Amino acid sequence: MRKRLLIIVAVAILLLIASIIWAIVVSFTIIKPTTESINQKLVQKMASVVRIPQGILPPSYDIDQTSFFWEMETLEKEVTGVRFKYQTGFFKNQNKIEAVLEMPENGDPALFNKVLPAVIADGQSLRAAQDIEKADLSANQMVGYQQIRLAVKRETKQATKIIWDFDKTSLGEDLNRDYAKLERYPTFFFKILYSLPNLIVSFFSG
């Protein structure tokens, strides 16, 4: 009886070790390169609505979204911050990807609106942000978004946030293939696999 118990414990330990090794291998060989590929392709896709300058600080990446921040200068040498973020769409039950261009907290809407022509790449979106009352917020099949939404400061009727909704399945075959690789894993398990590389690197770097 004791011998059988030891065998069961040994087998359980071996299975646990094998599972951990498998998870590490999958996280480094499938999850990490696939999520990095998706982020790179999303940057290219989002360039159709927002011009992200070269030479700015690296974006902030997490499992839910990628976020950029940079400063723009008006013709009058006034400076305002700009934040652009978009959802990663990594989860298989996530059918919509939201991209947001916004004025930083406590920013000046007037300055933010002055730099919009240099930031927004899509003509329909720019016109909507600059002329709230005549804004065309409908889908644009050429660019790929399903609709535009605006956050507006009531007192000045100036846009402080522009939101684009994208259908994840319409972002292109390359992205669809990458997303399909992630959809094999349940959300809870995917979150573990996604976090493993950072945990391991942090552990060994002290």
- How confident is the model over 169-195, as pLDDT tens digits? 889 899 999 999 999 999 999 999 999
Same domain for 165 and 178?
Answer: no
Structural domain for 129, as ranges: 51-170
Same domain for 75 and 114?
Answer: yes
Same domain for 128 and 60?
Answer: yes
Q: What residues are paired with 164 via a beta bridge? A: 99, 148
Same domain for 75 and 166?
Answer: yes
Same domain for 147 and 71?
Answer: yes
pLDDT at 199: 85
Same domain for 150 and 188?
Answer: no
How much is the pTM?
A: 0.87
User: Taking the CB of residue 6, how many other CB atoms lie within 10 A of it?
Assistant: 10
Same domain for 69 and 164?
Answer: yes
pLDDT at 14: 87
- Low-confidence residues in the chain, pLDDT < 70: 1, 206
Same domain for 148 and 76?
Answer: yes
Same domain for 132 and 62?
Answer: yes
pLDDT at 6: 79
Query: In angstroms, how far is CA 205 from the centroid of its own chain?
Result: 27
Domain count, the chain: 2
How far apart are alpha carbons 42 and 58 in whole angstroms?
Answer: 15
How far apart are alpha carbons 182 and 91 in whole angstroms?
Answer: 8
Q: What residues are paired with 97 via a beta bridge? A: 166
pLDDT at 206: 60
Same domain for 34 and 58?
Answer: no
Same domain for 137 and 102?
Answer: yes
Instruction: From residue 43, give the alpha-carbon distance in Å to each of 22, 75, 148.
Output: 31, 27, 18
Same domain for 101 and 137?
Answer: yes
Sheet containing strand 65-73, strands side by side: 60-61, 65-73, 79-87, 96-102, 158-167, 145-153
pLDDT at 23: 87
